[in-house]
Homo-oligomer: A and B are copies of this chain.
Amino acid sequence: MTITARKRRRSGASPRDREVNANRIPQMPWRQPRNPYPAMKILSDDQVEAIHDASMRVLEELGIELMSAEARALFRAAGADVDEATGVVRIDRALLAELISTAPSEFTLTSRNPAKRLVFGGDHMAFGMVAGPPSVHDRINGRRSGNLPDFENFTRLAHHFNAIHIIGNQVCAPMELPANSRHLDTYNANLTLSDLCFHTTSIGKGRAMDGIRMMAISRGMTLEQMAEDPGVTTIISVNSPRRFDGEMAEGLIAMSSSGQAVAVTPFTLMGAMTPVTLAAGLTQQNAEALFGIALTQLARKGAPVFYGSYTSNVDMRSGAPAFGTPENAKANIASGQLARRYGVPYRASPTNASNAADAQAAYETEMALWACMLGHANLHYHAAGWLEGGLCASFEKLVLDVEMLQHKMAFLEPIEVNEGELAFEAMKEVPTGGHFFGSPHTMERYETAFYQPLVSNWANHENWELAGAKDATMRATEIWQTALDEYEQPPMDAAIREELDAYIAKRKEEIGSGEP
């Protein structure tokens, strides 16, 4: 049985369905978490300023190669020093400060379901799906190329699990579809199988505009209305060191000029794309990110934008990228200090470099995730399903990630201290050496007192063995299967559905989807 052949849950609630409902996978309700504690600081204020200063020297003296004439024209018009022969743009710190000053410190993204509006900035957090892997894996069907049925199932899971707030740019690439129209199919799946915000593909203007237009259709809005109330975002990577790709720059301009959000994220793997030190990696990241943020504001003042960090290290023996390392954790915290220096919402990624959804995947993810949380990342990108350093989307890892994300959400709920919670009277009633299982204080609260796990199994060894001695990864397989059974497609107005279909058909014709 392939996973795509699994029975969809019937609409209409038969008695059996109701029974299934009562035994649904336990999960926390949908809500956007907030971090009530101060952000951790691992750089002193002086160190932040030293990194800022060095990054300004990078922008002033070395510059960024910007491979788009349109983007260069925007910088030139603003007064930057543009060398058309090399494409290098140099920008002094006063002009840079002026340009980025219009970036908002907080903004919202709203999907077709206003109840799932997301706030970015301040102490708000959102967790996003993995984006971009060419491959897919689960323990039943093994490893294969990304494809639309898997994409659709990942999208169903993103909708089903409340800990996932936003869908990334192609949770896996549907390799069987024509390369220059597949974005239409993935946007369609995002919009019809979930009601979450999602990331557009911004390699060039066309793909970005399709995402914006399709979100606008699903919300029943004009582009002008959506420019004031954005609904999609995108990741703009920088080809570090100091090179800004032309299609990426133009995708950025399309998104920003339409008022949609952009996360400018330098690809700063220390030892490869930056010098081998954290101070230099952060400096280069800062220069490249601020340059991209300036471009968003040149495209449209006040356009929503994230300060993106992806700084980690490579394995210096092999050049392989590493994530969830101590250096990556430090970068995740320090980058938050930098983002807040400029008053721009902060995007980071709780990722790992494991080849399996195993203990390594878990401890590396936790390293990165704790640091993202402590560093007050607003957008936790790639937070669910990421494996193999981003080359594979994993169904089991997605389930493990939901548990890890829910752990953080429960952890961030402050401790209540009041007479009822202090429970002096309950302590008085239980004798020394007794227990509180039957205490009225316990009975009133036990159902919601503690986080109820999704994956963790706390049975004793004998019962665990009797139940098949399944490790966490094996249990995760059962959970994503059950989740797909439980999944219910969010309703969509038939007229909107038709309008979307017509848009996709028209665009496929324009693009010419017969090509390979």
State which of B65, B313, B428 has its C-beta within 8 Å of the C-beta of A449: B313
A248 within 8 A of B: no
What residue in chain B is nearest A434 (Cβ atoms)?
B241
A64 within 8 A of B: yes
What residue in chain B is nearest A430 (Cβ atoms)?
B241
* A5-13, A123-131, A298-306, A416-424 - interface stretch: A416-424
A418 contacts B242, C-beta separation under 8 Å? no
A209 within 8 A of B: no
Q: Which chain B residues lie closer than 8 Å to A424 at the CB level? A: 54, 57-58, 283
* A14-22, A95-103, A341-349, A453-461 - interface stretch: A453-461
What residue in chain B is nearest A135 (Cβ atoms)?
B461
What residue in chain B is nearest A43 (Cβ atoms)?
B415
Q: Contact mask A320-358 → B, CB, 8 Å, 1/0?
A: 111001110110001000000000000000000111111
A451 contacts B326, C-beta separation under 8 Å? yes
Q: Which chain B residues lie closer than 8 Å to A353 at the CB level? A: 456, 458
Q: Which chain B residues lie closer than 8 Å to A360 at the CB level? A: 362, 455-457, 471-472
Give the contact-size bracket for chain A.
Answer: 35 or more
B358 contacts A426, C-beta separation under 8 Å? no
How far, in angstroms, from A241 to B330 measured CA to CA in the complex? Answer: 41
How far, in angstroms, from A206 to B126 measured CA to CA in the complex? Answer: 57
Q: Which chain B residues lie closer than 8 Å to A143 at the CB level? A: 461
- A414, A421, A464: most-surrounded residue (chain B CB, <10 A): A421
A361 within 8 A of B: yes
State which of B47, B239, B272, B427 has its C-beta within 8 Å of the C-beta of A241: B427
Q: Nearest chain B CB to A195's CB is how many angstroms away?
A: 27
A363 contacts B433, C-beta separation under 8 Å? no
B280 contacts A421, C-beta separation under 8 Å? yes
Q: Contact mask A271-287 → B, CB, 8 Å, 1/0?
A: 11111111110111000
A439 within 8 A of B: yes
From 239 to 289 in chain A, residues with beta carbon under 8 angstroms from any chain B beta carbon are 239, 241-243, 270-280, 282-284
B459 contacts A318, C-beta separation under 8 Å? yes
B432 contacts A65, C-beta separation under 8 Å? yes
B279 contacts A391, C-beta separation under 8 Å? no
Contact A276 to B449, CB < 8 A, known contacts A88-B432, A315-B458, A422-B283? yes
Contact A418 to B279, CB < 8 A, known contacts A411-B330, A427-B284, A458-B322? yes
A73 within 8 A of B: no
Q: Which chain B residues lie closer than 8 Å to A447 at the CB level? A: 316
Q: Nearest chain B CB to A472's CB is how many angstroms away?
A: 4
A37 contacts B42, C-beta separation under 8 Å? yes
A411 contacts B366, C-beta separation under 8 Å? no
What residue in chain B is nearest A363 (Cβ atoms)?
B362
Total copies of this chain within the assembly:
2
* A179-187, A399-407, A504-512 - interface stretch: A399-407
Q: Which chain B residues lie closer than 8 Å to A319 at the CB level? A: 437
Q: Contact mask A44-65 → B, CB, 8 Å, 1/0?
A: 0011001100100110011011
From 305 to 319 in chain A, residues with beta carbon under 8 angstroms from any chain B beta carbon are 313, 315-316, 318-319
A204 within 8 A of B: no
Contact A436 to B272, CB < 8 A, known contacts A57-B424, A366-B370? yes
A442 contacts B330, C-beta separation under 8 Å? no
How far, in angstroms, from A409 to B37 measured CA to CA in the complex? Answer: 23
A122 within 8 A of B: no
A138 within 8 A of B: no
Q: Nearest chain B CB to A388's CB is how many angstroms away?
A: 6
A271 contacts B446, C-beta separation under 8 Å? yes
B411 contacts A326, C-beta separation under 8 Å? yes
- A276, A279, A427: most-surrounded residue (chain B CB, <10 A): A276
Q: Which chain B residues lie closer than 8 Å to A413 at the CB level? A: 326
B354 contacts A436, C-beta separation under 8 Å? no
State which of B42, B277, B433 has its C-beta within 8 Å of the C-beta of A243: B433
3 smallest beta-carbon distances between A and B, as pairs: A366-B366, A326-B410, A362-B362
Q: A42-B415, A363-B407 provided; 7 other pairs, C-beta below 8 A?
A: A40-B40, A43-B417, A51-B422, A65-B432, A322-B453, A355-B465, A360-B471
A-B contact pairs, 10 of them (CB 8 A): A37-B41, A65-B432, A241-B431, A270-B450, A283-B422, A329-B407, A358-B471, A358-B473, A360-B456, A367-B411
- Which A residues form the contact surface with B (CB < 8 A)? 37, 40-43, 46-47, 50-51, 54, 57-58, 61-62, 64-65, 88, 135, 143, 239, 241-243, 270-280, 282-284, 313, 315-316, 318-322, 325-327, 329-330, 334, 353-367, 370-371, 374, 388-389, 391-392, 400, 403-404, 407-408, 410-411, 413-418, 420-424, 426-428, 430-437, 439, 441-442, 445-447, 449-451, 453, 455-461, 464-465, 469, 471-473, 476
